[in-house]
A and B are shown apart, each in its own frame.
Chain A
Amino acid sequence: MLPAVKMSTTAQKTVLQFPENFLWGTATSPTQVEGHVENEWTSFTAQDGGHCRIACDNYHRYPEDIEWMSRLGANAYRFGLEWSRLQSAPFAALNQNELARYIHLLDCLKAKGITPMVVLHHFSNPPWINAAGGWTNATTIPAFVDFVRQLVAALKERVFLWNTFNEPDTYACVAYLLGGFPPQRKWKLGQFRKVIEHMARAHEQAGRVIQRDGHAGRKPEVGIAKNWTFFHAYKRFSPWDRTTAFACHYTFNKFVLDAFLGGGRRRASTFIGLNYYGRVRFHHFRAMIPASGTPVKTLKDFGFVCDDMVERYPRGLVKILTYLHRKFRLPVYITEHGAASSDEAFRERDLRDNLTALHRAMAGGVEVRGFFYWSLLDNFEWQFGYTKKFGLLAVDFADEKLPRTMKPLAEVYAQICRTNALGADPAGPKPALD
């Protein structure tokens, strides 16, 4: 039975109410916010000269950051447990000091009424995994499953939402095809496929462990977070544009989804996590997005509406949610959505349009249980460093104290969290982004 999604029948007809118990959260990842990590990103220098060795110092400041979540009125938080902190060798016992810190973090969340969703892999590995070839090596699978087994035993009283892999497609693509993430390989299609296949097998085994051993009062839930980007041809009848778009869709969407959720592997998941940002259109083999180096002015001339990263495409959210619902019949969490831009009005419009699309999909029968805004904080955005500002909270990286301040969008999101509804835009209706 799907939870009720109602359109308000009061005078404010544009208020969109979400179901009771809907999760409104924010999201982060260890490498991007914690600082003091020892993984492949520690020695990595981003395009802006930045590194992740301090980041937001969330490692020490998590109580303050949880206080900020509470002020937002969020009732959920998606964050990662850094494998390299917790295990020093394959099959070693978990580091009890580091485990105690995560347990304290979880207890702080509970004290504020915030439900945790933990991510077990978010673009980083321990050094001893990388030294053995990372996820191109099949021996990483049992090592990861052992890590998960120990975590489930240690945390099942505090955690019931388990997110095994964050965007395996992005990880394998940017690390082994585009050369943007460590180990910075380029066009190694065989390694890309191996990474996906090994991660999918690890997810299948870890999912069974979580469902078997993770019961502690509440039934555990497990799933991956699939980044879904639409790949479209700019010119519908251009064979070049179409071929590129189809190749990307096939490789990053269909192949990956089939690997993780096809056949018997579907049973390893109880939900689908969806990271949704928008689409990429191709023109003469070129990805027409700012993140690929296409100038913003050029994109504007083409009529593309983008944030700092990709083209916005809110109606695509209805399409992909409906597709996933019909194909897999699993509940969905929007594990990430956000926009990187210094234009807060644009970000508000993006959030409103995407939540309107989400509500429409839910009204059409798709079971969505939560929405996590990416991100709580401005943070280390991988190869782009500190130039991409996804945070609800700004972090002043020029100040050693790394002070956090609310951005205007945080006030908007707080209102949504507190009312469990998307209210009418006080500035009046605006044309949709797409």
Chain B
Amino acid sequence: MAGEEVAGLRAREQSPSPPASSNQAAGHGVPLNNNHSSAKAAKLCGSR
């Protein structure tokens, strides 16, 4: 695919969600839907 087509593709791509330009949710640092007990959940098998 030509570079121009890819550029067009990118231009057409509608970012679905980010209201802000950062990776931080509103209410910075406060888990919204990830409860605190799960924060302590033993990650026995890793999760890369």
- Assess the B44–A287 pair: CB atoms within 8 A: yes
Q: How far is the CA of A35 from the CA of B1 in the complex (A)?
A: 22
Among the 9-residue stretches A39-47, A145-153, A321-329, the one with 4 or more Cβ atoms under 8 Å from chain B is: A39-47
Looking at chain B's contact residues, the main secondary structure is loop
Min CB gap B33→A, angstroms = 6
Q: How far is the CA of A35 from the CA of B6 in the complex (A)?
A: 17
In chain B, what residue has the closest Cβ to A101? B9
A-contact 0/1 string along B20-36, CB 8 Å cutoff: 01111101111111110
Min CB gap A36→B, angstroms = 5
State which residues 369-399 of A face B: CB under 8 Å. Answer: 374-375, 380-384, 386, 390, 397-398
Give the residues in chain A near B31, CB-CB below 8 Å. 45-47, 49
- Given known pairs A44-B34, A101-B9, A184-B38, the reply for A107 and B45 (CB within 8 Å) is no
- Assess the B29–A104 pair: CB atoms within 8 A: no
- Assess the A103–B47 pair: CB atoms within 8 A: no
Give the residues in chain A near B28, CB-CB below 8 Å. 49
- Assess the B18–A53 pair: CB atoms within 8 A: yes
Give the residues in chain A near B18, CB-CB below 8 Å. 35-36, 53-54
- Given known pairs A36-B16, A289-B43, the reply for A179 and B37 (CB within 8 Å) is yes
Q: How many residues of B contact A (CB 8 A)?
A: 37
- Assess the B47–A180 pair: CB atoms within 8 A: yes
Min CB gap B24→A, angstroms = 5
- On chain A, which size bracket covers the interface? 35 or more
Among the 9-residue stretches A165-173, A216-224, A233-241, A425-433, the one with 4 or more Cβ atoms under 8 Å from chain B is: A165-173
State which residues 262-288 of A face B: CB under 8 Å. Answer: 275, 277, 280, 286-287
- Given known pairs A53-B18, A167-B48, A292-B42, the reply for A383 and B23 (CB within 8 Å) is no
Name A178's contact: one of B15, B24, B43 (CB within 8 Å): B43
- Assess the A169–B45 pair: CB atoms within 8 A: yes
In chain B, what residue has the closest Cβ to A179? B38
- Assess the A178–B46 pair: CB atoms within 8 A: no
**A79 is an interface residue with CB less than 8 A from chain B:** no
Min CB gap B3→A, angstroms = 9
In chain B, what residue has the closest Cβ to A285? B42
Give the residues in chain B near A107, CB-CB below 8 Å. 1
- Assess the A53–B48 pair: CB atoms within 8 A: no
**A116 is an interface residue with CB less than 8 A from chain B:** no
Nearest 7 CB-CB pairings of A with B: A292-B42, A291-B43, A178-B41, A45-B32, A49-B29, A287-B42, A179-B38
22 residue pairs from A and B, CB less than 8 Å apart:
A45-B31, A45-B32, A48-B29, A49-B29, A51-B24, A97-B13, A100-B5, A101-B6, A170-B47, A173-B44, A174-B43, A178-B41, A180-B34, A248-B44, A277-B48, A286-B42, A291-B43, A309-B43, A309-B46, A383-B47, A397-B22, A400-B22
B residues adjacent to A (C-beta < 8 A): 1, 5-6, 9-10, 12-13, 15-18, 21-25, 27-35, 37-48
